[in-house]
Structure 1
Amino acid sequence: MLFSCSNLSLDLTSFFIVGEVLLTNSPNLPHSLRNTWIKITEEDDYISFLDRGAERIVLKNSDIATSIRNQIPNNRLAITVNFCQNKEFYNIIKDLNGFTIILSFDVFNLDDIGFLKEVISQNLMDLEKTNFILDLKDAKLTYELIKQLKENKLEIMIPESQVSKTAESSDDCLTLGEIVTASLKTDRTDGLYTTVVTDESGVALGLVYSSLKSLNESIYSRQGIYQSRNRGLWHKGLTSGATQDLLKLNLDCDGDAIKFTVTQHGSGFCHLNTRTCWGQGYGITHLSQVLRDRMSNSPEGSYTKRLFNDRDLLKSKIIEEAHELCDATSKEDVAWEAADLIYFALARCTAEGVSLSDIEKHLDLRSKKITRRPGNAKPQFIKKAEENVEVPTIPLIKEEIEMCVYDFNILQSDEKKRLLERPIMKTEEVFGKVKPILDDVKKNGDKSLLAFTEKFDQVKLDSPVVLPPFNVPQLKPNVKKAIDVAFSNILKFHSSQLDMSAVLKVETMPGIVCSRFVRPIESVGLYVPGGSAVLPSTALMLGIPAMVAGCKNIVIATPPRKDGTLCPEVVYVAEKVGASVILVAGGAQAIGAMAYGTETVPKVDKICGPGNQFVTAAKMIVQNDTSAMVSIDMPAGPSELLVIADDNCNPAYVVSDLLSQAEHGPDSQVILLGVNLSKSRLAAIQKELDKQAKALERCEIIRKSIAHSHIILFNSKKMAMDFSNTYAPEHLILHVDDAESWVKDVFNAGSVFVGKWAPESCGDYASGTNHTLPTYGYAKIYSGVNTNTFVKHITSQTLTKEGLSNIADTVMDLAEIEGLGAHRNAVAVRVKDLR
């Protein structure tokens, strides 16, 4: 289908989905000319349009020179001819056999179709290669007219003025769905159209059905929406998260089937959580999908994940496999080495966010180029016969652990912006995996909790909860003392944050007293992770402020250990803070249980605590679910830390702080801002980083997180602090002289550690401040967890007769302006008794 668009400011995407677009040559042409036909004159540089990806150029028959025909393939040229019922037209058409012909009608009559069919048959035209498109200008298009022309193997040009901008048609406009169905036929008794769904590479995902309504909904929303034979209109993935972005819609050669080209999100198309209805897929497209999954959720120790984090290794492997492919001789060896090279090349693309469809777009564009370059290799890669040139040596992978260094003063603006970016979180994919878990817990309660615990933690439990009094295991004396000291400090700091007995009272006018008082949130859920590290400190940081606030019901959720027992230190803290329930579960299922409640888990009003990307996604989903009626402390991403250091810093101290966060996980990020750092001091920091990291048990995790961490050099304190405030780190450490004087310039940070004697670890465990802090830049808008996290403020007002009389006219006038008579009357009936 061809659409004619004259308004170049129009968003052409909708037309691109269902067909191609004819545009007039203009300085405002879109940058990408894919799916476009360009109407030009003989003087225009038509070759450049074709090289940029235009499907065809359109010229009047009078402008077509023999030289143009010889330069351009027939399938890239459309020719405009004025229609008339005479012999001259007969001869023109005969001469254009094999081209796409746009017939321009000044006035169109239905009997013109008969004449045109007669001309075509008499000239014995090759209808497989010759296409006719009718340009009816301002003639009114109808569904019946388009259908009739299609039945006669004639296409029609659709002017944008007669296309509805919404999924609703009118007397003057047809919807895109109507235009598509006018070209379709079906022999189904229910009138539905067979629809094949494929991904960007053409791999079939499944078979579904479409109707006029579903086509309109799908085209105008650019989503995969179909007509289920049992359930009616079906928005694919709306509940599971496995949604589809509609990229293109095509009809088959006979007009009795539709192909949807989509970007598939979530676990896949099939209800069995496979990518296709025929399994998980195969070949390069399957490899591309696996690499994208590994990018966001690689198994610990995965080689692919190491490739993403170690660019030197990936570069070396690409060079190595390219040489081995060039040296391969047998058919089997060539195939083997080519497979290796494709794997590493796709890994490189995935690391940069380049998809297989992005590559295919460039291949398609190149296939459309008319001009051709010589294709010679660059000089450094040319091996002359008379020279004995050795193959370049593959660089060895660096064993040193070091951070990339950037000089902020010489960076371009886009490079500066890139340094503010965090490691990418694939939120859409994670949401798609988490939503079904939450729905299952909501529906099946304890049964679902126990099943997910067995599936994810490999632990079979009889009950998902432990009730007080808790059977606290015997702790080592030094461990118990450490927890008690930390408990005391955290309690002291958080108790001072709130005076529950204080009531704010302000007399705003004589006789009007406005008050605000504090009340605890009655039921709270505290998530204490238990994955790669045991975190009783988190139980302290969440439980103590909840206890201080006076929350009546405290639910602590923490996953079981491999033997089914709980971390004894967490149980000890739960006993000290007076927890009412310990939920023996982790992940999204624990969040769902606290948000919706189960047979044994009480529903809570607010959920707090850190966790992995699945926990964070679950918190964000339940917060937006009105049936849950639950709030959360904050969104969160991976752990992060930023250090500002000057040339008097102690390299060992600086590095120890950087590593304290880098060891949290491979997606953690640490940044060092060096203010006037000398080369010797910078070298000492890099040396210390390698030394300390290799001595740590979690060295491999550190190696991965350091891969997306960096050092940035600044010439002034102000520039460094501006960068820090823009980045808004979870933890900010000031390793500078006169560190106290720098604090006044901090506007965005979760928690600040002032001076070289204030390591981040103290805040994590026992100094008294809270370690549950906003990450991923949320420090710009969120505070860390504190006592106020667990309370709400209620306001009240008391008015005397005098007070009501003083404010009555103001209230009545404002109510009258807003047209709310009952509001005005509530004051008026009282004023009547007062005045």
Structure 2
Amino acid sequence: MPVFLPLLDGNYNEDLLQALSRIGPVIVPPSYLPLPDIDVSRYILLDHAASGANLDTIIQYLDQGADKVIVPLAWAKEVVGIIPAERLIILLDVSNASAVSDSVRNGISGVLVKTPTLDTDFISSFTRFFAGAKIYILQTGSSTPPQSTIRDLRRAGTTLIIPSSALTLEATSTERINIADAFVAPLVSDRPDGLSPTVVTEEGKSLGLVYSSSLSVKESILTGKGVYQSRKHGLWRKGETSGATQTVFGIRVDCDLDALEFDVAQVGAGFCHLNRPSCFGETQGLYALQKTLQSRLDEAPEGSYTRRLFNDPNLLRAKIMEEAEELCDAQTQEEVAFEAADLIYFALTKCIANGVTISDIERSLDKKAKKITRRKGDAKPKWVENTQATASSSTQPPPRPAAPAVSDGPIRMRTYDLSTATPETRSQLLRRPVLKSDEMIAKVKPIVDDVRNRGDAALLELTAKFDRVQLDSTVIFPPFAPESMEVEESVRQAIDVAYANVEKFHAAQNEKTPLRVETMPGVVCSRFARPIARVGLYVPGGTAILPSTALMLGVPAQVAGCKEIVLATPPRPDGSISPEVMYVAHLVGASAILKAGGAQAVAALAYGTETVPKVDKIFGPGNQWVTAAKMLVQNDTDALVSIDMPAGPSEVLVVADSTCNPAFVAADLLSQAEHGVDSQVVLVTVNLSQEEIAAIEDEVDAQARALPRVEIMRQSLPKSLIVKTTSVEEAIQFSNDYAPEHLILHLLDAPGAVPLVQNAGSVFVGPYSPESCGDYASGTNHTLPTNGYARQFSGVNTQSFQKHITSQEVTADGLRVLGPVVVTLADCEGLGAHANAVRIRLSTLS
């Protein structure tokens, strides 16, 4: 609430208006618009004399940035309920105050009352009648008000309106009052020295706490410079000797009239005597970024990335659009915050390049907030079309290729010392990104239901929508055309070697003979394996060709003896499947290939369509849409389908001691970090010095920069961890708690550490066992539990494609011994028929 309100009445100049802008709003009749180019808050006074004023005019003034409008009571019916109450003040003559209805009182934020006298009793009753509204008093025909009047009214919770003809920048006289004298009139202090505590801020951030006197406040108002009162040295003109001056934009009084706030622009080294921007420490967040970018604009060397951004508008435009898309695609809280930070960085770079500050942005936001007229808010057609072409909010977005690097800064992971970590910190280190399964399942359900209900028709439509491919049929049956399997000879040979190794390892897992145990004489129990008849194998597509996944899923299915192997994978733009995947499908004996991806492929496998065979179990990795669809169908009793395991982002945990090769360790970390921005990468060090850790970090940075997916790594690695431990036992214990998908051991005695491993998808032992070998061709399976599920799940193996059936054979002699035990237990449970089934047999043996 202002100390007083000036009313422009024709007798003012720009200097006076500039000084008034520092202490609050100004009441402006329309005839004085437009004002000089001075940033001053405006209350527009529309009295009966306002020519042509109507509701549209009022809205126009507010849309153009006026804080409030003041209208006669006679106009109340037209505006109350349409104009927001906080923007509306009613103009009253003292004689018609009783004519104000309850609806009007509830629809306004203030009352401007014209009165010939300042009767205290009347003003008090008036205030009670308009409880909750701000009261502004304009004394008609009055001479210059004394400071005591301003003080008494303001302390009573009302504000005096003073015509500009009664204000001056000169000394107060009987004709005019100095605006600074009017401002300080109601100030109070509980200090013996009479000073007012003063908070100094810049762009909303506190710079420090100082003190003000009436004299210093007056000088600041009149000069627009930061002037305060030193408790030791008297009047303190900020920067008079240091050069670190201040420009004052606004001075506000707190609600108790005993403290002040100065809004300033600091010039020079800073506000604090320690040459820092603030007495409360260094600037953080957006304002710190702004200062950094402003300094880079002036000082960034030629050839640096920041200089490129400032000098190349097309690059900056591309980065802003790229980051906006990534923010739109983000799902988890962590992802949204991470992508929003990137977008803000590039957007602020654009602003700084054009001389726009955060304060300018805030003023624009404030101005927009003042608008009464609102646009519908729909997106422009080109963006609506683009969004519909790529994805909708209820369907999966298409994969996006990696973009160029965004920064020249070093690529670093976050480091923690386990010996000093609190239990809360340790727990936090073990956490993965929150997977909002319920939200994703709700998004995929309409897709799954559509395929379930409409079969091939829905599948073809969804493939056209999401994969952007028009197909006549989504299924390929063998024999596959030879030309569809043509691959380079070197690739074919590599696939053949990998196939042989994977087949050998998984064949060894196959049970050769049934398990047979005689639990007591005459009682033989058995267990034997049978293949799951029909399995669906999901092989992701998108930016990568993944014949390795087709191998890892197809070979154990083939070895297990599954009768039907349906392989599902997204088609290429021309509607075909990559020849590498086709070749693997041929090797593993696939009975059908479904050319579809995402939730629609999972639904087709789960329920079957006119052409897609229904399966009994679905395997394979995929994005969150695929995972959510798998979780949905496995819980539908109508589908009667199971899945291999829940899936999350790819993971690696590397344990390294002083014998490690930093280049090897870095390469292992990067091989996982390139999968996606949400990849989980952890390095656990064993008694490594800071220099040894730095050597690994330097290798990570150098190798990443030379790799094609460096942009993905720039985002995944800063979210990744280095955890320092003091022993192999402590390191493996942390790994067991983390339960990684891939565990790599760079240790002096790596084989000796394997017995300590309790939870991991797959272990890579020693410096010459990179994860890549297991991913492609060593023989083990690379479809592994993620997100900590290695505590409960195994990786895909031959037995994943089998179920086990038990049998028992009891002889007559065996029943004589076992039968009484069964009868006793059945009777104990009250299941007479169970007991009878034994008794009736025992009766024939007696």
Q: 1:595 to 1:328 in 2, by over 3 A?
A: closer
Cα distance in 1 between the residues matched to 2:833 and 2:818:
17
Structure 1 position 454 matched with structure 2 position 482: no
Q: 1:727 to 1:330 in 2, by over 3 A?
A: closer
Q: 2:331 aligns with which of 290, 296, 301?
A: 296
5 Å matches for 1:538-553?
538-553=549-564
Deviations 1:727-782 (A, max 9, x none): 00000000111111000000000000000000000000000000000000000000
Deviations 1:57-108 (A, max 9, x none): xxxxxxxxxxxxxxxxxxxxxxxxxxxxxxxxxxxxxxxxxxxxxxxxxxxx
Shift of 1:428: 2.5
- Name the residue aligned to 2:628: 617
- Name the residue aligned to 2:503: 491
Q: 2:494 aligns with which of 482, 502, 514?
A: 482
Deviations 1:269-327 (A, max 9, x none): xxxxxxxxxxxxxxxxxxxx9998643189xxx99776357699599889989x96565
Equivalent residues of 2:506, 2:559 under 8 A apart: yes
Cα distance in 2 between the residues matched to 1:312 and 1:752:
41
Equivalent residues of 1:328, 1:334 under 8 A apart: no
Structure 1 position 307 matched with structure 2 position 339: yes
Q: 1:397 to 1:761 in 2, by over 3 A?
A: closer
- Name the residue aligned to 1:268: none
Shift of 1:425: 2.3
Q: 1:572 to 1:312 in 2, by over 3 A?
A: same
Structure 1 position 761 matched with structure 2 position 793: no
Equivalent residues of 1:660, 1:761 under 8 A apart: yes
Cα distance in 2 between the residues matched to 1:808 and 1:303:
62
- Name the residue aligned to 1:630: 641
Cα distance in 1 between the residues matched to 2:325 and 2:575:
32
- Name the residue aligned to 1:668: 679
Structure 1 position 522 matched with structure 2 position 537: no
- Name the residue aligned to 1:328: 360
Cα distance in 1 between the residues matched to 2:566 and 2:358:
62
- Name the residue aligned to 2:609: 598
Structure 1 position 658 matched with structure 2 position 669: yes
- Name the residue aligned to 1:715: 726
Q: Which amino acid aligns with 2:499?
A: F
- Name the residue aligned to 1:607: 618
Q: 1:332 to 1:618 in 2, by over 3 A?
A: closer
Shift of 1:416: 1.4
Equivalent residues of 2:332, 2:433 under 8 A apart: no
Cα distance in 2 between the residues matched to 1:682 and 1:329:
42
In the superposition, the TM-score normalised over structure 1's length comes to 0.56
Q: Which amino acid aligns with 1:776?
A: N
Deviation >6 Å, runs of 4+: 126-129, 289-292, 302-305, 314-321, 336-339
Cα distance in 2 between the residues matched to 1:555 and 1:530:
16
Q: 2:761 aligns with which of 750, 764, 778?
A: 750
- Name the residue aligned to 2:572: 561
Equivalent residues of 1:735, 1:756 under 8 A apart: yes
5 Å matches for 1:10-25?
none
Cα distance in 1 between the residues matched to 2:516 and 2:422:
54
- Name the residue aligned to 1:465: 475
- Name the residue aligned to 1:730: 741
Unaligned stretches of 5+ residues in structure 2: 1-127, 132-323, 372-405
Shift of 1:698: 0.8
Shift of 1:128: 13
Deviations 1:570-597 (A, max 9, x none): 1101111111000111111111101101
Cα distance in 1 between the residues matched to 2:538 and 2:693:
40
Equivalent residues of 1:643, 1:735 under 8 A apart: yes
RMSD value, Cα: 3.2
Equivalent residues of 1:558, 1:583 under 8 A apart: yes
Deviations 1:20-46 (A, max 9, x none): xxxxxxxxxxxxxxxxxxxxxxxxxxx
Shift of 1:703: 1.1
Cα distance in 2 between the residues matched to 1:640 and 1:290:
25
Q: Which amino acid aligns with 2:360?
A: A
Deviations 1:194-251 (A, max 9, x none): xxxxxxxxxxxxxxxxxxxxxxxxxxxxxxxxxxxxxxxxxxxxxxxxxxxxxxxxxx
Equivalent residues of 2:783, 2:796 under 8 A apart: yes
Equivalent residues of 1:529, 1:611 under 8 A apart: yes
5 Å matches for 1:12-411?
294-296=329-331, 307-308=339-340, 313=345, 327-328=359-360, 332=364, 335=367, 399-411=409-421
Q: Which amino acid aligns with 2:778?
A: S
Cα distance in 2 between the residues matched to 1:832 and 1:481:
69
Cα distance in 2 between the residues matched to 1:787 and 1:330:
61
Cα distance in 2 between the residues matched to 1:450 and 1:627:
23
Shift of 1:411: 1.8
Deviations 1:127-177 (A, max 9, x none): 999xxxxxxxxxxxxxxxxxxxxxxxxxxxxxxxxxxxxxxxxxxxxxxxx
Cα distance in 2 between the residues matched to 1:629 and 1:448:
21
**Bigger radius of gyration:** 2
Equivalent residues of 1:489, 1:766 under 8 A apart: yes
Q: Percent identity?
A: 56
Q: Which amino acid aligns with 2:465?
A: K
Structure 1 position 741 matched with structure 2 position 743: no
Q: 1:477 to 1:606 in 2, by over 3 A?
A: same
Cα distance in 2 between the residues matched to 1:507 and 1:330:
81
Equivalent residues of 1:507, 1:514 under 8 A apart: yes
Shift of 1:417: 1.1
- Name the residue aligned to 1:646: 657
Unaligned stretches of 5+ residues in structure 1: 1-125, 130-288, 340-395
Cα distance in 2 between the residues matched to 1:818 and 1:417:
45
Cα distance in 2 between the residues matched to 1:737 and 1:580:
47
Cα distance in 2 between the residues matched to 1:413 and 1:467:
56
Cα distance in 1 between the residues matched to 2:435 and 2:467:
23
Q: Which amino acid aligns with 1:544?
A: V
- Number of aligned residues: 491
SS at match of 2:331: helix
Q: 1:328 to 1:503 in 2, by over 3 A?
A: closer
5 Å matches for 1:396-435?
399-435=409-445
- Name the residue aligned to 1:43: none
- Name the residue aligned to 1:811: 822
Cα distance in 2 between the residues matched to 1:563 and 1:576:
24
Q: Which amino acid aligns with 1:481?
A: Q
